[in-house]
Chain A
């Protein structure tokens, strides 16, 4: 790593421009071989957004096909391949790495006042594992058309034509990427907190990231084992999951969901962490019940390991097992409810400003509440029986994964966009995109609850005609949702091209990332800043649009001042 050059002779503005992490070194290799967590975070951001674009287009293709009850554009086989691709890309390439790898990479060290993550090279290798896993995965799936669904259920996956082994190897590689990121964050948060930042003075985003990382490190190996066993069964015909070789398909489901249910919390916990930050900053109010929110993240992470069986309520498990899993499933609902109540209470007596990120945060609470509440029907055994594997389930998990994680992720991207790029975005159009996403999303997935309770099964290329109207509503909603997301993309592109320069602290946040310039210098902080309460907004005062929020209070923690001392590192 290069020495921090002595630029103190230059005027402040020019020095910031020279030191800003986006431009301090130039050229393709300076990005491709960078060890800077911020650049890796941005590369991840571009990567996961591309994956999201592909998978989102596939979703629109699905909705277009479902406008009519019979095959129109896609044959049955093509439809099956499209929904498999949609699910697999969304889960493995977008949602799992979205918040931790893209935003987490950028934010974790800056929020800790550190220069980088604990293992910068491991970090870069995790990105390349993600890229190679993604290429491998996409190539394998497109080559002959994988049609197993993203869950690879046996014995379908052990008997179908198609590159199941190659695709599962892609999953295996992606799993390592996920483990590396999680490991890195655990070590970083454990060892690199600055003086004064005790565990309970950490921003809640870091708590959520820490809880997520624990799941990533503990659960992902099981996915690796599962896909290896699957490959062994396909290639060597070892009897594990396929009854043709004396295996048992339900065993596969236990293996698979032992990872994939905790993975749901890998997806949603970081989104919850984002919302905790957003609600507090944009309400200009210390978070309500900090410890409860922090502990609930850990509780969700731990309980999340015990509930995988609820994916298998109709699989023919023993009654006692089924009942125990139902009971455990309800335990997860409590910490989630606690979070929602605390977020709401945070606004109480605060100063709520409806900036775009706040609109997305409120959107999250609305949609996630529906997602959480509809989980009650599915956790309860007698109502799950008819609803299992119907569109009710589809709508439920989209409310959590899209209404929750995606909306939270977008809120986070809007919130930290000025910090990442140094550019402000159009507030008006940002809010319009939020409104369109809100309307489009609800129009897409509310009708699916009714479809499900009326008996429409999942993964149907064709359906009985009486379901057509609800399906069409859902499709129109999906197109509106897609349009809203394109508006959001337009806001980002416009901001890059013509956005106003962002001040260091446009929203009035009190966590450490708002103390360095926007975008931060490549070294983040010359020396670890002293920290106090991450949600103490008293010393902050709003100046004007160009200067944003600044510390005025005498008790203000020290900002890394404009005199970088040479030869510090």
Chain B
């Protein structure tokens, strides 16, 4: 499936552009090429005139130039008016394409809420399901309503030729209509700090046929029931993994591994037990207490109103399990916690096993694979 879409992508790519995967692409690309040809004509004329004049009028024995002032109002007006007419046309066509991009067709759109935060994306679908990658049906109008909970971000899918800033304190909307099934890249295009260049979803925008889309949404709406697995699932899907590792390394915040039950040092010099109370407070009021050495964690947004008490308890259960060597080994390897591993560890249930057949075999959501692939050349 994946290699097939890649292959398809390769065929659709050109020297200048990624695949034309949305309804904007045709107009934008042909307009791009139109400006290109206009520019090439002007550029060639300018450089040709430059080279010709340098050769023709160069200082050399037997040639005498005339240094007196030349002037021609006709010429000046010509080369003022012609570019003016051309830029008016470019302006007008730009507005034409822009209005299409800014005006979602009335009715029949699928509204998806997007939350951007350092350094992850969350997508909430009409049925309430939440995911960290975007799943959309092909040939349908998609409208994104985007919020940021910290700094400026920008939602940019090159293959859709669509981009819009996500501004904290505002709700920005954008729409597009995918016209090709496949997996496309999502980039954050507005500088947002340390992991700006990792706030990407490599092949993380999935355009599916309507049936697969609906199946996917139904799966996403049903979280795992076992608290530990549910915690792991939340960790992957709700943005924790952007700043907290499972392998003990410091990313921005402390790792989830091995902290449970320890006494940790706060930046104020006090000590505090790493327990349910502390975890809950850190999720709802992250600014209250920082662990020493993690003052940069002041960037963590509050999850109050975003994670329910039940979800916080699942996360706590997951953190508790992260003391267990065997469990750590399962979750921190290349492919994360696969359904089989969960089953063998005894934290799975029927619903999860069925659901994960679909999602995990797609190879998505694995923290280790979120990063740009190793250079293969």
Contacts and interface: CB of A to CB of B under 8 A. Distances in A.
A386 B57 contact: no
Contacts of A345: 70, 75
Contacts of A354: 54, 58
Given A347-B57, A350-B65, A351-B57, A465 B18 contact: no
A273 to B, nearest CB: 18
Contacts of B192: 156
B101 A382 contact: yes
A70 B197 CA distance: 10
Contacts of B278: none
Contacts of B66: 285, 349-350
A362 B90 contact: no
B59 A459 contact: no
A388 interface: yes
Nearest to A315: B165
Given A314-B164, A344-B46, A373-B39, A457 B97 contact: no
Interface stretch (B30-38, B268-276, B320-328): B30-38
A78 B151 CA distance: 20
Contacts of A326: 91, 94-95, 98
A461 B46 contact: no
Interface string A457-468: 111111111001
Given A155-B150, A286-B67, A352-B54, A386 B161 contact: yes
Contacts of A459: 191, 196-197
B8 interface: no
Interface stretch (B152-160, B225-233, B311-319, B348-356): B152-160
B123 interface: no
Chain B, interface size: which category? 35 or more
Interface stretch (B76-84, B136-144, B255-263, B360-368): B76-84
A196 interface: no
A249 B152 CA distance: 8
Interface in A72-95: 76-77, 80
Given A319-B99, A369-B46, A457-B156, A248 B87 contact: no
B157 to A, nearest CB: 8
Contacts of B298: 159, 161
A454 B13 CA distance: 9
B197 A461 contact: yes
B97 A381 contact: yes
B189 interface: yes
Nearest to A374: B39
Interface in B1-54: 15-18, 24, 27-28, 31-32, 35, 38-39, 42-43, 46-47, 49-50, 53-54
B293 interface: no
B196 A382 contact: no
Contacts of A465: 372-377
B196 to A, nearest CB: 6
Interface string A243-287: 100111110000000000000000000000000000000011111
Nearest to B40: A373
Interface string B83-110: 1100110110111111111100000000
Contacts of A390: 189
Nearest to A158: B151
Contact of B71 (A69, A160, A284, A288): A288
15 contacts: A147-B194, A160-B193, A243-B169, A246-B169, A288-B70, A349-B66, A362-B50, A369-B42, A377-B32, A380-B90, A382-B31, A382-B97, A383-B97, A455-B158, A461-B197
Interface of B: 15-18, 24, 27-28, 31-32, 35, 38-39, 42-43, 46-47, 49-50, 53-54, 57-59, 63-72, 75-76, 79-80, 83-84, 87-88, 90-91, 93-102, 150-152, 154, 156, 158-159, 161-165, 167-170, 172, 185, 187-198, 200, 202, 295-296, 298-299, 371-377
Given A161-B296, A369-B46, A533-B69, 11 more contacts: A69-B372, A250-B167, A250-B170, A284-B59, A347-B50, A376-B35, A379-B91, A383-B32, A454-B16, A460-B197, A538-B67
